[in-house]
Amino acid sequence: MDSNTKENFENGMAAFVGQDYGTCIEHLTEVLRSDRSHKLALVSRGAAFMRTGNHKTALSDFDRVLELDPNYARAYHLRGLARELEGDDNGALNDFNRAIELKPDYGAAYHSRATLHTKMGQTERATEDIRMVTHLTQQNIETFANENNIWRSQHMHMESMMESELNR
């Protein structure tokens, strides 16, 4: 990736984070002019189009991403959100299902599917998905705690070794 493309990508992502979706779209469009297969630029621009209410163009970007990578769970999830906003609940449900099939620990896709199930009057299925979101959240908290404990143990061990070296 040349420096101009890289700069446009970084500026586009910064604009997205700053909720300046028009500027984000401009920068990511420049990225895609030089690299039509830049998946992250496509999916991010699609998300920016969704935020501006341009769901049809967002769908087009998500479709392009999925042509490039049919196993991109996030693109299915985002396309599902855009489809739901366009009133295509069945298409949205299919995309949420595919995202979860590809990435079974994708909590956001379960949450979106639960919301859609509720909207569709399928409260039992919505409850199952919320249980999974809760389970995944708990799992993430435990993983973070365990990683933090390992880091703390290693850090304390290192301090102890340094202290004994200093006390020699």
CATH number for the domain spanning 53: value is 1.25.40.10
Residues 108 and 53 in one domain: no
Residues 30 and 86 in one domain: no
pTM of the model: 0.81
For residues 117 and 139, give the distance between their C-alpha atoms in angstroms, rounded to a whole number. 24
Residues 78 and 148 in one domain: yes
| Side chain identity, residue 106 | Y
CA angle 119, 123, 127 (to 5 degrees): 115
Residues 101 and 164 in one domain: yes
DSSP state for residue 71 in the 8-state scheme: T
For residues 134 and 51, give the distance between their C-alpha atoms in angstroms, rounded to a whole number. 27
Domain residues for 76? 70-168
**Number of independent structural domains in the chain:** 2
Q: How many CB atoms lie within 10 A of CB 66?
A: 19
Task: Per-residue pLDDT tens, the chain, 168 aa: give them.
Answer: 789 999 999 999 999 999 999 999 999 999 999 999 999 999 999 999 999 999 999 999 999 999 999 999 999 999 999 999 999 999 999 999 999 999 999 999 999 999 999 999 999 999 999 898 888 878 767 666 666 555 555 655 555 555 555 555
